[in-house]
Every structure is written in structure tokens, then in C-alpha cells.
Structure 1
Amino acid sequence: MRPLRICLIASSRFPIREPFAGGLEAHTHALARQLHARGHEVSVFAAPGSDPSLGVVELPVETFEPAEGERHDTGVTPDSWLNEHHAYLGLMLDLARTGHERFDVVHNNSLHHLPIAMSPALRVPMFTTLHTPPVPWLASAVAYADPGSTFVAVSRFTAQEWSPSVACLTIHNGIDVEAWSPGPGGGPAVWSGRLVPEKAPHLAIDAARRAGMPLTLAGPSLDRGYFAREIEPRLGGDVEYVGHLTHEQLRVTLGAASVAVVTPVWDEPYGLVAAEALACGTPVAAFARGALPEFVDDSVGALARPDDVDDLARAMRLAVTRDRATVRRVAEERCSIAHMVDRYEELYLTGRERVAA
């Protein structure tokens, strides 16, 4: 296919660079890099400071500064909400005016409602990837989406969750399985991700101790109250928090681990941290929630009953017995970003041809 001009809409809060704020930013970075490597012209709308090595065009993110007197009403929404609203409104109005002259497709990879709600104003096909189960602000926007918009869910579970509101294709998230290369294993168990209540790393600590395994925690601490209340008192001895790591540091840590522990207490739409561990050859022990059972099974790890710490300890002891070469091979088959980008390219081409017709 000939190169496409792609507008990739991401978060206006977070730049697309390491260390990533979360899985959505890591996913957007990998997608942009792969599309650029395939010869496409990629423009990314994200917070200023995205990784210059991506070779992408950074679209401006405008902020809103209220004038004197505009904040006097106590019911006014917070500045962070106003800034996001202003940024996405400016982007969508700009795309409505000239987007069809500059882009062949628009891929909405954000969690904001305006790109979906304003899609009827565009004269270029829009594709929206749904990274979360239905949330009110996105579900309400879907009702106003352009009938020609295409929605993609990151898992079959997420597609099913959205099915009352919108029909979705399923394209599983992918990771760069070359960058996430296998390691020797044999070291402490690892928990990675955002240290927030819905990810429940404190349950991973409890399970690791019941399983008799040392544990390393890695990731950004975004909820100081939760960290002080649930994590800090559990640290020490056989449990270490190593902070927010770069991808290379995390690859080494995961590759050295005997097992990766994934402990969502909400329904994970996908579970990028599990895919990263598998690509490093490290088996996964996880709560059977959300989309995790779609790619974590007995060949690559073990699942536990949701929220059951004792059962998770059992799953950890079982997962370490899995063959690491098999885990790596299955990750290549199930979690490859090359396959994911192939699917998106097919969608882009179909959308462009539909508009041309």
C-alpha cells in the first residue's frame, strides 16, 4: 500500500515518551513507531515533548487560561478539565476545517469524548480504539458519532462490554516482541504497572509472601495516599519497590523474574503488562478478570480466582513451572505488534477507499 498521512490522537495530558504514564501511552508510542517504520507519515496529537526518535509530527496542544473574573463561580469545572476540553475542541475544529487536505485517516487513540462526538464534522475517515470498558463520557459521545466511524476494541471482552452501545471490531493490542526480548528468569517475582488501587499491587505482595517468593514492584506511584496506606507498610525484607523504570530497565527486570504477577481488581480491557512479561519469556500468574484469560492460559502461566490471594499464591507456584521457551513462542504468536499494525493498515486502506468511492 502507498504511504498514508495518519493523524494519531493521543492524550493531551501525557507526552508519548518513556517512562510512559501508562499502557495507553506505551501503546501509542509503539503504534506510531511501527507506522513510521512502514513509511507512513504520522502526526501525533499529545502533550508536548513526545519522543523525537519517533519521527512524527507533533500537533500543537493549546491550553486555556481563564481571564480575570471567569473563575469566580464556585461551580466552574477544574482547570485540568478545561484545558483538556480546550485542547481537543481546538484539534477537532482544525480537523473539520482542513483535516481532509492534510490526512488520509484519523485514528483516535484517546479517552476523550470530543473526537468521537465531533467525528461527523470531519471529511476524513475516523477510527477509534476503545481502550476501556464503557465509561459514561465515551458512551454518551458514541450516540453522536459519525455513522461511518469505525470502532475497534482491544479485546473480545471489551468488544462485548461495548456491544449494547456500538459494534466493534477486535484487534488485540500488540507489543514489539523484538524489543521485549527473553531473559534467563529465576529471580524474584515481578509486579509492574501503575501503583493505584484498581491495579492492587498490595494483593501481589500478600500473595508473594504466602507463596514464599520475593517480589519486585516497578511502576509510577500515582496515588500517594494509596501508596502510603497499602504499599509502604508492606515493603521491606523480601519485597522491594524499584520505582518507575524505562522500558529497557523493565525488560531486564521482567526477563530476570521467575513469574510476573498481575492483580487487577477491575476488569482489565487488555493487560499490556502481561504481554510484556510473556515476551520476556516470563510466565504470568494473574487474576482471571477482563481480557486476561484471552491470552494467559496454562501454556504461559496460571489464572487465579479474582481477588483471591490464596489462589493467586497457588497460581504463582504453578506458573513458575512453565517452560520459558514456550512462553516466549506463544507471546510471539499472540502479542506481536506487527500483526496488530497489519490489521490497522487494512482498516485504514478500507476507510480511504470508502471515502474515495
Structure 2
Amino acid sequence: MLNPYAILMKRILLLLLLMIIGTAVHSQVIYETFRSIKLDQNRDLKIQLPRNYDTNEKKIYPLIIVLDGDYLFEPMAGNVDYFSYWEDMPESIVVGIVQDKTRMEDCRYDEAEFLPVNKGAQFFEFIGQELLPYLNQTYRTAELKIIVGHDYTSNFINYFLFKENPIFQAYINLSPELAPPMADRISNILTTSSQELWYYLATATNDADNIKKNLIALDENLSVIENPEVNYSFDNFNESSHYTLVGRAIPRALESIFEMYRPISKRTYKEVILPLETSPFEWLVDLYKTTEKLYGIKRQIRVNDFIAVSTALIKNENWDELEPLGKLATKEHPETMLGHYFLGMHYEQIGEPKKAMRAYENGFLLNEVAFLTKDYMLDKVNKIKEDFGW
């Protein structure tokens, strides 16, 4: 049995360990004070950089601006880190603007034109003319910019839609308390926009009655818009309140915005790729070209996505397409046996066993990946030798 001194020492060591862990986690977020000329005051920022940001010196990242950063930054930053860890969205830079003492003045609009006025106009210029240029200059930001707000600040983020070339491409509106003409303005802009936009809107059954009523009416207008440039999504969460809906809406918004970024799912495989009458290989190439255009990020084609397409080709006995797929996989993942396996399957099925055996042998020398092991590749080689008596 431990004596009281030993117990005390163990508790002290445990406390120190927790403090170290807490510091390590805390250090992922940078706290900055930004001097704004437009506002003539300092503004506190919270900045979360992606994991391994410092080691990936050529990589660029989408930028997410979070208003109400004093309480909205942490749930947004946590979800972004989680989603990007599982590759359901690109790693992103998250910046929260602390507004606990200034939000009403920051987002003030006049009662005649319902446009930013006084400090509200200055705050609008601060974001567009000071903060974004600073962040673009200081950090490796991609073209895609997202802005997030809650109730009063959510109304404010929509003013950026009014610009001819909006500086934000995606808007996450969490129970916005809309100015009187804002609903019509949003509907008009999303109807006529010629630029790719993502627009997410959320309310809840226990939201404030006036907000919920206005947002349901707005959704009725937005849901019938037929603009291919606009990606619109709406949620009315059951049994959530004005505040608790935030925890449910943020992941839903990220799923909506980055729907095309996620790995190919079983549903996409069954409903899209398998019944394709055109080239599955070209579909895969076009998918990555489209996501590069949408999100401004060129990325390596996932092993998961190669396998999904190859499985469909094999199931449909589309042996010819395995050749370009294999060459692309070899280019994208040269250190693995993936591409050589596809090439081996192609040659084997079109009746060129020597080329097939050579492809499998080349793959055997490389790294294992997914279900492909050295034993598996060796078995493929031996099976061909056995079949042809070599």
C-alpha cells in the first residue's frame, strides 16, 4: 500500500502531465492582436493552423473566417480538424474574430437602407480590406474563403454577397437574425449569381419564433432556385434551440460544402460509377479536375478512389480502362504496387501473360497498399507461370 507521500507525488506528476498535454493542445492555436486602422482599435484573433502546417511548405489551405470567435471558433476549429483528419474536407486555416464586447457595433446597420453603418461599415472594411489581405500575405491561403456567423453576425456575413466579385465563396448561416429586406436580397443574389457559391442555412424547432418563421419562409424561396452555380443546403433541427443547433449545424455545413471532396462512398460506387455508360476512368479524372476548380486545391487521387473505380471496371469486365487507370495510379502513387496491379490485370485479361507477369513482378518490388501484399503479387506471378508451364 502506497504511503500518503507517494500518493501525493503521483498526483503531482499526473497534474504536471495534464498541464503538458493541455499546453501541447493549446499550442495548436495562435492568439494574435491585430491593429486595425479602419476600426482605430486592436482586435483579438484566434488562428488554428492545420496539423503539420510548418512541414508542408508548398501546400495551400482554404480560409475560414469565424465571427463571434469568442464562442464560435472552438466548435468550428474542432470540426475542421476532425473532418480534415479523415479527409472529408481539405485541411483549412480557421480564424476567429473575438467580438464579445463589440458584436452589436460591429454588425450595426441603418434603419433606412439596412446596410452596414458607422462601426458596422468600418468592420465590413476591416474584414475585406485589412484582415483578409493580412491573412493571405502571412499564411498560405487557397482561393476558397468561407465565412461563418450566428444570429446577428450571421445576418452581417450576407453583406459580402452584395459585392460584384464576392471575397467569400461559402456562407455558413447559423440561425441568422435577418434585417427586414435581407431575405429578398439573398434570394435575388443566389438566383442571378454567375460565380460558384455555397450557401448553408440552419434553424431549429426550438429556435426563436421570429427567426425560425423567417428562415423557413426564406428556405421556401431558396429551395426552388435553379442556378447551377449555387450549392444551397438547409437544416431545421428537431428539438434543438437557438444555441444548441450550432453543434449540429457546423458538421452539416462542412459536409454540404465539401460533398465533392470526400472519398468515393459505397453509395456513389453503386449508384454512380457502377452503372456508368461512359468511361469510369474519365469520370475519376473529371472528378478531381472539378474539385480542383471548386476548391482551388490540386490533390493526389486517393487510393480509395482508385480502388472504387477499378472494382467497377473489373465487375463490368471493362479491361481496356484498367490500362490508363494503372498508368495514372503509377504516376500518383509511384511508391506503391497499385498501378502495376491494375496493369497486370489489364494485360492478363487481354491475353498478354508475359506483360502481365512483368507488371506483377514490378509491383512486387514496391510498397504494399490496401489489399495488395507482396504475397498476393507473388501468387499472381506464380499462377501465370503455372498456367503457361514457365
**What TM-score bracket applies, with the shorter chain setting the length?**
0.3 to 0.5
TM-score, normalising length: structure 2: 0.32
TM-score, normalising length: structure 1: 0.34
Higher relative contact order (CA 8 A, sep 6+): 1
Of Structure 1 and Structure 2, which has the larger fraction of its residues in helix? 2
- Highest Rg: 1 or 2? 2
